Structure 1
Amino acid sequence: MIVALLNQKGGVGKTTLALHLAGQWAAEGKRVILIDADPQGSALDWSQQRSREGLPRLFGVVGLARDTLHREAPELARDADHVVIDGPPRVAGLMRSALLAADLVLIPVQPSPLDGWASAEMLALLTEARIYRPELIARFVLNRCGARTVITRETAETLADHDPPLLSATIGQRAAFADLAQSGRLVFEAEHDSMAAREIAAFAAKVGRLAP
Structure 2
Amino acid sequence: MIVALLNQKGGVGKTTLALHLAGAWARQGQRVTVIDADPQGSALDWSERRSREGLPRSFGVVGLARDTLHREAPEFAKDVEHVVIDGPPRIAGLMRSALLAADLVLVPVQPSPFDGWASAEMLALIDEARIYRPDLAARFVLNRCAARTVIARETAETLTDHDPPVLAATVGQRVAFAETALTGRLVFDANPGGQAATEITTLAAEAGRLAP
Whether 1:51 and 2:51 are equivalent positions in the alignment is: yes
TM-score by length of 1: 0.99
So what's the TM-score if we normalise by structure 2? Answer: 0.99
Of all paired residues, the percent bearing the same amino acid is 80
Tell me the secondary structure at the aligned position of residue 131 of structure 2: helix
**How far apart, in 2, do the equivalents of 1:121 and 1:144 lie?**
21
The aligned residue for residue 169 of structure 1 is: 169
Residue aligning to 1:18: 18
Aligned AA for 1:4? A
Q: How many Å apart are 1:58 and its aligned residue?
A: 1.1
In 1, distance between residues paired with 2:129 and 2:195? 36
Q: Aligned equivalents of 1:162 and 1:19: distance in 2? A: 26
After TM superposition, where is structure 1 displaced by more than 6 Å over at least 4 residues in a row? none
Query: Which secondary structure state, in structure 1, belongs to the residue aligned with residue 88 of structure 2?
Result: coil
Partner-residue secondary structure (3-state), 1:125: helix
Structure 1, residues 152-190: CA drift from partner, whole Å, max 9, x if none? Answer: 010011111210000110000000000110000000111
1: CA distance, partners of 2:107 / 2:79: 26
Superposed counterparts of 1:137-156, under 5 Å: 137-156=137-156
- 1:109-120 matches, cutoff 5 A: 109-120=109-120
What is the alpha-carbon root mean square deviation over aligned residues? 0.4
In 2, Cα distance between equivalents of 1:211 and 1:192? 25
* Alpha-carbon distance in 1 for matches of 2:52, 2:191: 21
Q: Which residue of 2 aligns with 1:135?
A: 135
Unaligned segments of structure 2, at least 5 residues? none
Task: Give 1:208's aligned residue.
Answer: 208
Per the alignment, residue 80 of structure 1 pairs with 80
Deviation at 1:101, TM superposition (A): 0.1
Q: Cα deviation per residue 1:40-94 (whole Å; 9 max; x = unaligned)?
A: 0000000000000000101000100000000000001001110000000000000
Three-state SS of the structure 1 residue aligned to 2:8 is coil
- The letter of the residue matching 1:207 is A
Aligned residues: 212
Q: How far apart are the structure 1 equivalents of 2:122 and 2:161?
A: 18
Residue identity in the other structure for 2:61: V
Alignment match, 2:64: 64
Secondary structure, in 3 states, of the residue corresponding to 2:130? helix
